[in-house]
Amino acid sequence: MPYRILSGNRPTGKIHIGNVFGALQNWKELQEENECFFEIADYHALTTGYDNTENLRNDIMEIAIDWLAFGLDPEKSAIFVQSDVKEHIELFTLLSMITPLPWLERNPTLKEQLQELDIRIVHFGHLGYPVLQASDILIYKATAVPVGEDQLPHIELTREIARRFNNLYGEVFPEPISLLTKYPRVPGPDGKRMSKSLNNIILLSEEPEEIKKKVKQAFTDPQKIRKNDKGHPDNCVVFAYHKIFNVKNKEQRERDCKSGTIGCVECKEDCTTTMIEYLSPYREKRNELKKNESYVRDILKTGAHKASEETNKTISDVRDHMKLWVNN
């Protein structure tokens, strides 16, 4: 039985290969057999970026272009901007009324963000964003959510909120399951999790010369100093890229590294060539879409209309079960 799926990303501009293989590749495959809703989560962008919205509209357009360039199909999926579908916020408000504060305070992702972004003051929107995320999912009565391992606690919280609502007011929401992505963690050239905040990204739209530069600087096995030293591929960022971009030859590359028949310089050159070949068609498609932003806007508008058809039904169901005021 096909799933009904909701997923999305914050609009942080052009996407990197960590976004692609941590989420987008999975979405692209899921849209073939399932009913999919993909949101550009601009409200979520405000949880940590409320004081810097100057580039928000441009960032929304950039991520939409990347999604379409990589293969999200508006004929198969609803692709939309979160703030264009107002029922997200109404459900967020209602679910906030029934979500205990300790459920939010135990959120491990919040603690990581506070440390990583050096946030000293936690605002209500930041503390409560898992409830907004739950609202994003439940407003579509989604049955599955594709996520990385770091998002599993959020989906479990969504399930808890759905259970609590259903127990209080009657059965409305399904409890969505998690669909783990194939590549839950893509490293940056420095070996850390690829992230814009860490400035260690390789963009989907990266120019060939930049790819060469970044892969050349990528961390390799520190124990493999000379070409004929036996390597440990699992300790190498470049081999992590081979596993993604060079699937057909990854086992041979692993054997060559372990036996000392290939050096890191040659391995990086092979990796660079493969990455450039893989990413070039998407960069070209992106350039075409960039010239026709009105077409992209129309897709987002149509996607929001399709999404609203579902969210209107859900919020009506919610209001009915909660016995909220109706002025007929």
* Judgement on whether residues 148 and 30 belong to the same structural domain of the protein: yes
* Judgement on whether residues 139 and 225 belong to the same structural domain of the protein: no
CA 99 to chain centre: 25
pTM for the model stands at 0.92
Per the structure, the count of domains in the chain is 2
**CA 84 to each of CA 131, 197, 303, 305: distance values in angstroms, whole numbers, following the listed order:** 19, 27, 10, 9
Q: Which of 223, 201, 219, 207 is nearest to 267 (CA)?
A: 219
* Judgement on whether residues 52 and 144 belong to the same structural domain of the protein: yes
* Judgement on whether residues 275 and 298 belong to the same structural domain of the protein: no
In a domain, 131, yes or no: yes
Whether pLDDT at 184 is above 70 = no
Task: Give me the CATH number covering residue 150.
Answer: 3.40.50.620
Mean pLDDT is lowest, of 91-105, 108-122, 156-170, 265-279, for 108-122
191-220: pLDDT as tens digits: 998 988 889 999 999 999 999 999 999 999
Beta-carbon contacts of residue 105 (< 8 Å; ≥ 6 apart): 127
In a domain, 210, yes or no: yes
For residue 246, what are the domain limits? Answer: 205-287
* Judgement on whether residues 228 and 89 belong to the same structural domain of the protein: no
| φ, ψ for residue 178, nearest 5 deg | -95, 135
Q: What DSSP element (H or E) covers 137? A: helix 129-138
In a domain, 165, yes or no: yes
Whether pLDDT at 112 is above 80 = no
**Tokens representing residue 97 in the block:** 């009324």
